[in-house]
Structure 1
């Protein structure tokens, strides 16, 4: 009996201890239970897995509270060794543009955040658990709708949001610096990061080493997070990423990630809500603000998608929302700043697209809107027989013509010239 009671006592004590040691870590945050997988330090003989990014079901405020309670590692956090990109000029250009895209879409137009993101990418490409090219690291998992390593590569952000040329130029400059030996020492050998308003499941298996603005940075625990683990030879054979063709000439060819990004693909990738609605009461007319970052060659396709199956349709577009009118008719200033027009009338087999060539240079002058000038009205004098001569003049208002006074005379009155305006070359 004593032996049985002893065994029961041992089990009663050991079972909870084993459950605490090997079971998931449970933390209560603002009344919400967070179950984090138990820390597992991968031995040197095994390669640590790169898991798809999945998150705990926490509100942003609760996630911040949880993250604030995760301590930073007390172990040393040495800066990574400088990295120098190799390869042909084309390969280097592809790597630089992949890095620049990740910097912009992950950290925004912020230099310090971009440097931190760039250092993580360099750390990954050196680590045998990740792809061995810069573009391979950035676009790892992008063929899936979820589970990519960098969310901008699979959540539609590349087509949903465009950066201005000067922002892209700054990111590209910073990418070149990071790939040319510049080190961001604060994140050390971190291979993972996340914003402080989410809690990924992998977090509990890694060491928290740094915080940069709202991003928290982590490295693998044990040997795989130490400098000797980052010993892989990086390949210069950078793949072509067609999804970057909008920004990068280096990625306009075909590649392992799919066919080149064409104008049709750019427009087809637009979300349905990006297409405009016609004017109320005039379902054949669209006055729209078109994305200035879309390629000008894509405007006709954008217009035809907006028109749909309408036999008659008119699309007039501006690149500045503040200048886009909300109703017809248009005034001279609105016509002058119009960037593009498209008109269709299938009854007469008419289909015409025109650009404002002061903004968009076109190879064929017939594709340009015709620019004309509003001329001031001239005084018009109508002569009648001497006994009944009645002068008739305009009020001399610029661009406005008044109908001359009619007088009974056998002579035909002079006809005022029609005022000119800045209009598309074709009349509709």
Structure 2
């Protein structure tokens, strides 16, 4: 071997041997601690002979950061995640309309106005529809357990959200488009046969018994472990008619024959949550007409929510009126409304579907609005100043006389005419001041009234 080769070999040998020795003799590092909550139950694989139970939504008591740390450490399932089979709705037109709106409500309340986030949620709902552990209608899946404060599968159906907030028309239309596509065969492939999901800042108790398969946005998606998470378990047909859901009547005309929109629900929407309705609540509903609502609003309620409260109160009624006041002492308790009650009204909603009328109006003397078309009409009450014109029995043109200016919309009490005195050349006819309009003050007093 040449001397140069010997030198290179001598240099290369330590460069190879030293790292190898370090790797072989490296100290054993303890595994990083997992953020597994102590209260989380152990994983259980449900056998094929037993239909897995549908557990109520309940969360482990963890901070937001701790929950996210734990969720990040939960591994994704190993192996393939096959996409679900396309689902095609086969019910009547009425059933399709109800299913579309129930599905759209779940999408926008669960995933917001986000098409990409809504599609996997729709897939989960349709997967549940075909699984024997869940109801066999779209609306049944969405509103499962909603009759209870706990036990609902989708929280918006039992936490009062559907009575407190209403999506915009554009957002609702987009959600219905996503829902219609899902019912016509669209498949969200990334979530496969997922039947559960949750946001990454919470840890539900059922999570430990399921396989984590995907993440879309802030939602984590899971399927049942074992056979119940495979395509063979999802073969149940949807053989029942879609029910009319009372709560959906607040959003959907397809559920308009539903009943159950009660005064308590309306008061709950105004107060902020269904469970808050109790004696002493400032939210009150009083009406002598089932299609008219006279309401005292809480001062803390945002004026932007007034239309939603009104629409929720009116539900599916073809004709409806909603009148609201901020001052409980000014709230009317019966119809018809008097001038003072109209003047002090804060907000009004008027609906007449046969006539194509739907209006929301604010008292802009109390609440400024950027669009003046949203303001109630204003009538001006003015006390007359100056002498009244002298009466004359002769129907001939008379000189212009000082007196009250007649304005459109002025409400006046017509006085009983006094006897006309006989004309006399030297006599002065005394004048009488114009009658005062009840409830007005000197000058002008703007009063908001309905058009």
TM-score by length of 2: 0.63
Match of 1:261 in 2: 261
Q: 1:171 to 1:371 in 2, by over 3 A?
A: farther
SS at match of 1:67: helix
Q: Which runs of 5+ in 1 are unaligned?
A: 1-26, 280-285, 340-355, 357-368, 373-402, 405-410
What do the CA deviations read for 1:156-188 (whole angstroms, capped 9, x no partner)? 000011111111111111101000001000100
Match of 1:391 in 2: none
Q: 1:87 to 1:308 in 2, by over 3 A?
A: farther
Q: 1:147 to 1:287 in 2, by over 3 A?
A: closer
Q: Indicate whether 1:303 and 2:318 are aligned.
A: no
5 Å-filtered alignment, 1:21-420, equals 29=35, 33-254=37-258, 259-261=259-261, 264=263, 267-272=266-271, 276=297, 291-295=306-310, 298=314, 301=322, 303=324, 307=328, 313=341, 314-317=344-347, 337=373, 339=375, 414-415=402-403, 417=405
When structure 1 is superposed on structure 2, of 144-153 and 291-300 the one drifting more is 291-300
Match of 2:354 in 1: none
Deviation at 1:300, TM superposition (A): 5.3
Matches of 2:230 and 2:331, distance apart in 1 = 64
Contact 1:195 1:216 in 2 (8 A): yes
Contact 1:120 1:189 in 2 (8 A): yes
Deviation at 1:269, TM superposition (A): 3.2
Contact 1:276 1:288 in 2 (8 A): no
Larger Cα-atom Rg: 2
Deviation at 1:293, TM superposition (A): 3.1
Q: 1:289 to 1:115 in 2, by over 3 A?
A: closer
Contact 2:324 2:331 in 1 (8 A): no
Matches of 2:84 and 2:304, distance apart in 1 = 47
Deviation at 1:106, TM superposition (A): 0.4
Q: Which runs of 5+ in 2 are unaligned?
A: 1-32, 273-282, 284-295, 315-319, 333-339, 350-358, 387-398, 410-445
Contact 2:165 2:308 in 1 (8 A): no
SS at match of 2:128: helix
Deviation at 1:115, TM superposition (A): 0.5
Contact 2:271 2:298 in 1 (8 A): no
TM-score by length of 1: 0.66
Contact 1:289 1:317 in 2 (8 A): no
Matches of 1:426 and 1:302, distance apart in 2 = 10
Contact 2:323 2:347 in 1 (8 A): no
Deviation at 1:151, TM superposition (A): 0.4
SS at match of 2:307: coil
Deviation at 1:291, TM superposition (A): 2.0
Q: 1:253 to 1:260 in 2, by over 3 A?
A: farther
Q: 1:93 to 1:74 in 2, by over 3 A?
A: same
What do the CA deviations read for 1:72-116 (whole angstroms, capped 9, x no partner)? 001210110000001111011111111000001000100011111
When structure 1 is superposed on structure 2, of 132-141 and 34-43 the one drifting more is 34-43
Contact 1:245 1:260 in 2 (8 A): no
Matches of 1:103 and 1:34, distance apart in 2 = 33
Contact 1:290 1:317 in 2 (8 A): no
Matches of 1:277 and 1:127, distance apart in 2 = 45
Matches of 2:322 and 2:372, distance apart in 1 = 23
Contact 2:324 2:348 in 1 (8 A): no
Matches of 1:247 and 1:307, distance apart in 2 = 29
What do the CA deviations read for 1:292-327 (whole angstroms, capped 9, x no partner)? 234468585552796368677522227999x87575
SS at match of 1:207: strand
Matches of 2:327 and 2:234, distance apart in 1 = 51
